Structures are given as structure tokens and as C-alpha cells.
Amino acid sequence: MRVLLSTYGSRGDVEPLVALAVRLRERGAQVRMCVPPDEEFAARIADIGIRPVPVGPSVRSLTRGTAPPSAADLSRTRDALVEAQFEQFPAAVEGCDVLVAAGLAQIAARSVAEAAGVRYVYASYAAVHLPSPHHAPPPRPGWPEPETDDNRARWERDAHHVNTQFAEALNRHRASLGLPPVDNVRDHVLTDRPWLAADPALGAWPRTPGLDVVQTGTWSLPDERPLPADLMAFLTAGPPPVYVGFGSANAPQDLARSTIEALRAQGRRALVSRGWADLGLIDDRDDCFALGEVNHQRLFRQVAAVVHHGGAGTTATAARAGVPQVVVPAPVSDNPYWAGRVADLGIGTALDGPIPDTETLTAAFRTALAPDTRTRAESLGAGIRTDGAAVAADLLLGTARGDAVAG
């Protein structure tokens, strides 16, 4: 079996496909991967013995600068990505049996698979990206939020925005491939039987007519890497610290400062992860430690709480570790959704606004660090599955045999 895996986004989009690739290869499948051209993704995929196919503009370059990209810049980037996909995907999918497109912005994948006679599977990392009256669509950068609280109306508006951005380009390329036009780009990409690579205990799919969702569980791999010696020395030098990290989010330095000050007010130590925003310490006191890329699975089991931006991967890793969370969500994609799930499950707190003040953070830490929050977090963590990537790999192998698994 030969599989093409494709995604576009930050590390949180790439890592789940890495996990799926490893499980597929363990079962004898041949795997290719289309990912953004950023060096760190190429290196990560090379680590598992796969040569990446770079597609689209650099993701990290989109996060640079003190201000987010303008709506016009985002529109041009999306257009360029679609053109790059139609240019690169046909060669990448040649000889494959299945194309798995994961995450957002996979506009060309289904059409290329259709033209090549290859089965197509779409996978989402969060239920909120799939249309349902039970939740509103996530905010999409550069597109206005609809002025209504009705979820069905908001999903209709979301489909309109996707069509406005992509319909002309998609149908132009489909015509060149001898394919008929589509009138709803978003639902065409998602299919009527998408997969959901999220844990049911953390983010279950609410049953919705018209979508036969296959929930596999989170796609992840066990990480056995040891923690650096200097980090271990800090961990053992005092009580468990609070981890503060915002991944690929463009977090302001003021957020790290406010968080450290709020923790110090409660006598807590802090670990500050630099991330893509290159956050750092605010002074040279010995109650804080700055770190780079480390094993979160191992680290989170040794901290008092995890402060983060609401990424699917960080939320799932912290939940699996049974550690309370404080989520300061970036106002895009599924980050507000995961913040809401943490709050609803009682395993932490969720804050509004990009830079909460010290007083707000102090109150959030009181809740997150309370013993009953830790008890709920530990109870939930014990029930989170770790076999999602294996489940998905087995489903894909069934697909190759002709089983009715994916839409």
C-alpha cells in the first residue's frame, strides 16, 4: 500500500501525520508526505526516514513581525497555496492508493486524488472544524465574523467565505483536469465521512445529520527522549514549576511577563518555553528557567500546571499527563475550542483576550492549582487513549482492501 499524507500549518498540524506515517510504515505501507517548506518540518520528517515534498510558502514566515498578516496578505497566501498544491500534488500522488489530507487549507487534494483515481480521506484535528449546529465554526484569520449567534447561519456564512476565496481557482483547475465544478468548496474538501483525529474523552464529536464522522483518537507517538540535565536540575531544585509556552502562536513578550508575575505572587516557579515567539525570562532570578524544544510528554508529568495557547497537540499532551491547564487561546482556528473544552471539563481555566492582566492570571492559577482541579485532570488523563494513529493506520489498510471506511 502506498499512501500520500498532506498537511499545511504549524508543528501541531505536522506531528499527527508523522505519527500516522510511523504506524503505517510499521504495517508495511510506503509513505510520502507533503508539508510546508520550513526546515524544521523537513528535518522532523527526515528523522523518520521519509523524504518530504515541500508545498506552499513558509509557515514560520507568516508568524514573524509584531502585527499579524493583513487580510489581503492572507488572501494572497491562500491563493498561492492552492496554486502550489495543484502544481505539486499530481506528481506526489502518482502511484499511491490513498491520499490523506489533514487540517485546514487542503483545497486541491480531493480534486487531484479524483483525477488520479486515488481514494481520498479528509481528517480534522478538532470537532469544531466540522459543520454542526452544536458549535459555531472557528474564526478564520482575515475573514469577518458573522453577526449572528445562530450556528447554522454561521456555518452557511463560513461556506460562503470559503467559496469566495477558493471556488474560482478550484473549479478552474478541476476543469483543466476534466472534472466537473463543485458548488460548496468547504464541504467538498471535508467529504460526508471525515475522520476526526481527537480523543473522545477530550473533544468528542456531537452526532450531526449529514456527517458520518469516524473518530480515531489523537494521532501521536510515545516520546522517550530524556530531559536535558540543566532542566532536570531546575525541576529537582524546588517544588513543581508551572510550564508557560505558546508554541507557534505569535505571543507577545508582555504575556510572559504577566504570567511570571502572577506565578511569583503565589510563590510558584516557572518554566518559559521560547516557541516561535522567542519568549524569554524577564530577569535573572533563579525561580524561572527558559527552555527550547523538549519532550513535553515527560516534562508535563513533572509540572504543577501548563499554560498554553490552546493548540490541539499541547491540550492533548497536557490532558494525557493529568496536569491542570490554563489556556490563553490565540483567537484563531481551534484554539478557542480547546480552551472551552478545558474549562467545560473542569481540568483548568480558559481566559479571554490576548494579554490577560496579572490579576486575571492570578485568579486563573488559583483555580487551576486547586487540588480538585488536579484530581479531575488526573481522572481524565487516565482515560485518554494513545492508539489513535494505530487505529487510523488500520483503517487505511482496510481502505486499501476495499472496505468502506472513508468517504
Q: Is the pLDDT of residue 210 over 60?
A: yes
User: For residue 116, what are the contacts with CB-CB under 8 A and spacing of at least 6?
Assistant: 90, 93, 94, 96
The C-alpha atoms of residue 301 and residue 378 are separated, in whole angstroms, by 10
In this prediction, residue 386 has a pLDDT band, given cuts at 50, 70 and 90, of: very high
* H-run or E-run covering 327: strand 325-327
The C-alpha atoms of residue 80 and residue 74 are separated, in whole angstroms, by 10
In this prediction, residue 406 has a pLDDT band, given cuts at 50, 70 and 90, of: very low
**Once rounded to an integer, what is the mean pLDDT over residues 15-43?**
95
Instruction: Output helix, strand, coil percentages for the chain, rounded to the nearest 5.
Output: 45, 15, 45
CA angle 87, 15, 323 (to 5 degrees): 155
Mean pLDDT of the chain: 91
In this prediction, residue 251 has a pLDDT band, given cuts at 50, 70 and 90, of: low
pTM (2 d.p.): 0.93
The C-alpha atoms of residue 174 and residue 185 are separated, in whole angstroms, by 12
User: For residue 208, what are the contacts with CB-CB under 8 A and spacing of at least 6?
Assistant: 130, 131, 132, 133, 134
Q: What is the pLDDT of residue 252?
A: 64
Q: What is the pLDDT of residue 18?
A: 97
The C-alpha atoms of residue 195 and residue 176 are separated, in whole angstroms, by 29
| Alpha carbon 297 to chain centroid, angstroms | 16
Q: Which residue has the higher pLDDT, 63 or 211?
A: 211
Nearest to 184 by CA among 168, 160, 208, 165: 160
Cell 475522520 maps to which residue? 195
Inter-residue contact 229 to 372 (CB < 8 Å): no
The C-alpha atoms of residue 2 and residue 364 are separated, in whole angstroms, by 48
Give the C-alpha distances (Å, rounded to integers) separating 297 from 217, 322, 348.
Answer: 17, 11, 18
Inter-residue contact 161 to 140 (CB < 8 Å): yes
**Once rounded to an integer, what is the mean pLDDT over residues 196-209?**
96
Q: Is the pLDDT of residue 226 over 50?
A: yes
Q: What is the pLDDT of residue 357?
A: 82
Please give the domain boundaries of the chain with CATH numbers for all domains.
Answer: 2-219+386-400 (3.40.50.2000), 229-382 (3.40.50.2000)
- Grid coordinates given for 153: 447561519
Inter-residue contact 32 to 333 (CB < 8 Å): no
Q: What is the pLDDT of residue 142?
A: 81
Q: What is the pLDDT of residue 403?
A: 43
Q: Is the pLDDT of residue 277 over 90?
A: no
**Once rounded to an integer, what is the mean pLDDT over residues 71-86?**
90
- Grid coordinates given for 98: 490513498
Segments of 81-208 assigned E as strands: 98-102, 119-124, 195-196
Query: Helix, strand or coil for residue 214?
Result: strand
Give the C-alpha distances (Å, rounded to integers) separating 93 from 114, 119, 180, 195, 348.
Answer: 11, 11, 20, 20, 43
Q: Is the pLDDT of residue 299 over 50?
A: yes
Q: Which of 212-226, 297-311, 387-401 has the lowest mean pLDDT?
A: 387-401
Nearest to 217 by CA among 393, 93, 373: 393
Q: What is the pLDDT of residue 405?
A: 42
Q: What is the pLDDT of residue 356?
A: 83
pLDDT for 113-146, tens place per residue? 999 999 999 999 999 999 999 999 998 888 888 7
The C-alpha atoms of residue 58 and residue 106 are separated, in whole angstroms, by 15
The C-alpha atoms of residue 171 and residue 108 are separated, in whole angstroms, by 10
Query: Helix, strand or coil for residue 6?
Result: strand
Among the residues of 192-295, which ranges form H helices? 200-203, 229-236, 253-265
Q: What is the pLDDT of residue 404?
A: 39
